[in-house]
Chains A and B, each alone.
Chain A
Amino acid sequence: MTEIALLARRSVREILRYPEATIPGLFIPLFFLAVNVGQVAKTFPSTTPFLHGQGYVAFQLPVSLMFAVATAASGLALVTEIDIGYFDKLLAAPIRRSSIIFGRLAADFVRGLVGSTFVLLAGFAFGAHIEAGPLGAVLLVFLAACFGVGYAGFGVLVALRTRNVQATNTSFLLFFPLLFLSPNFVPFDRLSPVMEALARANPVSYVIDGLRSLVIEGWEWDKLAYCTLVIVGLIAILTTLSLRAIEQYDR
């Protein structure tokens, strides 16, 4: 546990010392929020049934939260360490290899908390409010950060398997099809039959739906349960694959 804490502290320090690597990533979700809301706010006024009396910004806020936390930053940091030789130094230390992964993911959690809080505050500034109240807002930030941890596992996995900076960087692009094949702009029942089928098969849809329920509906336990299940599954699968990759590294 100590070694995870030490490695996590180092990774957090890395985030703080390279704000230029984090801050631009926070403006992209805000950009999408502003552009999407600007384009369709008149089409979907607050009287639209699925908005439950809020503006369209509230409907889009969860998508921006996910944008803020889904990064390949840990994968990139890891592949850079492999490249410069520091990774070997860590492997030669008497620590569990899994600590290297958990140290990185712990920093992703911190990054996710900070990023999603920032986007949430921006959402408030745009006029959104959290129907589930302050506790719902905390849960929203927490779940978003957890989704960031799960998604980071994908970048880490690519970094360990390919040991290639470009491949790891490109892994972030996977997020776009996952995001756009979801009830990103409208609810499931407003999608075309084909898109709805694809969206219902896409696990990310349930994360969006769960987070969105906290913002515009309140405490919808079934949606929150699906959302949590997907996030836990994502963390479990990608972390397990990453742990296996690091155990097999040069074996």
Chain B
Amino acid sequence: MSDAPAIATHDLRRTFKDVDAVRGVNLSIAPGEVFGFLGPNGAGKTTTVRMLCTLLPPTGGTATVAGLDVVRDAAQVRRSIGVALQEIGLDPVQSGRELLELQCGLYGIPAARARTRAQELLELVGLADVGERRTKTYSGGMKRRLDLASALVHEPQVLFLDEPTTGLDPASRRTVWDEVRRINEAGTTVFLTTQYLEEADQLCDRLAIIDAGTIVADGTPEELKARMGHDVVALTFDDPGNGTVTAAERAVAGLEGLERTVTERDGTALYVRDGAAAITEIVRLLDAAGLRAKTINLARPSLDDVFLQATGRRLEGAEKETAA
């Protein structure tokens, strides 16, 4: 596999009349990576994907996909990519099988091979038994899986998935994740936009957070979390009233690596540089002050914390995701 980036952008921009939707995005994505593009609605994710898929020309900067310029070599770029956009693009009049066979034909796959390929893909996404049904009768999850299959007919080098699990129930979402992993294991580079933190955490080798058209943070999920510079040690007490929490916070005030404390309803959260190493010392300091914690939990920072730090607010849908 070539070392040249599967996707590279330099100062990529897109303006709609007086709205700067994408304002100078720089990316370099290696072949075989699953790259996540995380951001709230309206952040510029879909506009970026549409530019990379040649559906929308940039108004500034450059972008290459599979080593090809998205403006100059648009036709070749389209041969190298698979696309499943946010809006599930299925023709409701055709059956799943017909849709895949047509898609094969549009990518120049001969009819006999198209029939075999459609069957392979229907089996891959678990729709072989409903392949003859018109797509308008499919559930949301089935439509999403068929859309994904249609993006794979020509075994693309790079697969673009724009919010592939938005609107899906948790079970369907996990099925799509499994498909994405399988596709990636076969060597396809995956560019995935999402507003689900768990999705980014589960699937992506690296990710970038985009907000208001600009990348505000990027790296591996672990790097981004590590860049937060702290762990969270959450202490709860049987009797958090009567000054217990204040006393506890005072007792650990001298703890090495303690960055700040946040008083919570039934205890306190200690933001420390190395949580695992600090726990023994925290217990010792509490003991010395005659205090005994009911529970001690060590939490790594989440991508939500990373997003909060990068953008100053929590990602829309984060609560919904936790509930799911």
Known: A10-B94, A18-B93, A95-B106. A85 touches B55 (CB 8 A): no
Interface string of A1-45 (1 = CB under 8 A from B): 011001100100110011000000000000000000000000000
Query: For chain A residues 90-127, which have a beta carbon within 8 Å of chain B?
Result: 90-95
In the complex, A85 Cα to B88 Cα: how many Å? 6
Our pick among B56, B85, B93 for the contact of A89 (Cβ within 8 Å) is B85
- For B88, list chain A residues within 8 Å (CB): 85
B side interface size, CB within 8 A: 30
Is B79 part of the binding interface, using a Cβ–Cβ cutoff of 8 Å?
Answer: yes
Cβ A17 vs Cβ B91 within 8 A: no
Cβ B105 vs Cβ A85 within 8 A: no
In the complex, A92 Cα to B79 Cα: how many Å? 9
Is A84 part of the binding interface, using a Cβ–Cβ cutoff of 8 Å?
Answer: yes
Is A88 part of the binding interface, using a Cβ–Cβ cutoff of 8 Å?
Answer: yes
Cβ B89 vs Cβ A85 within 8 A: yes
In the complex, A232 Cα to B89 Cα: how many Å? 34
Is B258 part of the binding interface, using a Cβ–Cβ cutoff of 8 Å?
Answer: no
Our pick among B79, B85, B102 for the contact of A94 (Cβ within 8 Å) is B79
A228 to chain B, nearest CB (A): 34
Is A131 part of the binding interface, using a Cβ–Cβ cutoff of 8 Å?
Answer: no
Is A86 part of the binding interface, using a Cβ–Cβ cutoff of 8 Å?
Answer: yes
Is B186 part of the binding interface, using a Cβ–Cβ cutoff of 8 Å?
Answer: no
In the complex, A14 Cα to B76 Cα: how many Å? 30
Cβ B150 vs Cβ A89 within 8 A: yes
Query: For chain B residues 152-183, which have a beta carbon within 8 Å of chain A?
Result: none
Our pick among A13, A14, A88, A250 for the contact of B89 (Cβ within 8 Å) is A88
Cβ B91 vs Cβ A3 within 8 A: no
Query: For chain B residues 86-100, which have a beta carbon within 8 Å of chain A?
Result: 87-94, 98
Cβ B105 vs Cβ A6 within 8 A: yes
- For B90, list chain A residues within 8 Å (CB): 84-86, 89
Closest to A14 in B: B93
Query: For chain B residues 53-84, which have a beta carbon within 8 Å of chain A?
Result: 53-57, 75-76, 78-79, 81, 83
In the complex, A251 Cα to B75 Cα: how many Å? 15
Known: A13-B94, A89-B150, A251-B57. A94 touches B89 (CB 8 A): no
Cβ B106 vs Cβ A93 within 8 A: yes
- For A6, list chain B residues within 8 Å (CB): 102, 105-106
Our pick among A14, A86, A92 for the contact of B78 (Cβ within 8 Å) is A92
Is B103 part of the binding interface, using a Cβ–Cβ cutoff of 8 Å?
Answer: yes
Cβ B102 vs Cβ A91 within 8 A: no
B114 to chain A, nearest CB (A): 10
Cβ A94 vs Cβ B55 within 8 A: no
In the complex, A95 Cα to B78 Cα: how many Å? 9
In the complex, A3 Cα to B106 Cα: how many Å? 6
In the complex, A7 Cα to B78 Cα: how many Å? 18
Is A196 part of the binding interface, using a Cβ–Cβ cutoff of 8 Å?
Answer: no
Cβ B93 vs Cβ A17 within 8 A: yes
Known: A2-B105, A10-B102, A250-B56. A94 touches B78 (CB 8 A): yes
Cβ A81 vs Cβ B106 within 8 A: no
Cβ B56 vs Cβ A85 within 8 A: no
Cβ B79 vs Cβ A86 within 8 A: no
A188 to chain B, nearest CB (A): 44
In the complex, A89 Cα to B81 Cα: how many Å? 12
Cβ A94 vs Cβ B107 within 8 A: yes
- For A84, list chain B residues within 8 Å (CB): 87, 89-90, 92
Query: For chain B residues 260-284, which have a beta carbon within 8 Å of chain A?
Result: none
Could you list 13 further interchain pairs (A-B, Cβ under 8 angstroms) beyond the known A10-B102, A85-B90, A93-B107?
A: A3-B105, A3-B106, A10-B98, A13-B98, A17-B93, A86-B91, A88-B83, A88-B89, A89-B83, A89-B89, A92-B78, A95-B106, A250-B57
On A, residues with C-beta under 8 Å from B are 2-3, 6-7, 10, 13-14, 17-18, 81, 84-95, 250-251
17 pairs of residues in contact across A and B, judged by CB atoms under 8 Å: A2-B105, A3-B106, A6-B105, A10-B91, A10-B93, A10-B98, A13-B98, A17-B134, A85-B87, A86-B89, A88-B55, A88-B83, A93-B106, A94-B78, A94-B106, A94-B108, A250-B55
On B, residues with C-beta under 8 Å from A are 50, 53-57, 75-76, 78-79, 81, 83, 85, 87-94, 98, 102-103, 105-108, 134, 150
Closest 3 CB pairs of A and B: A85-B87, A89-B89, A85-B89
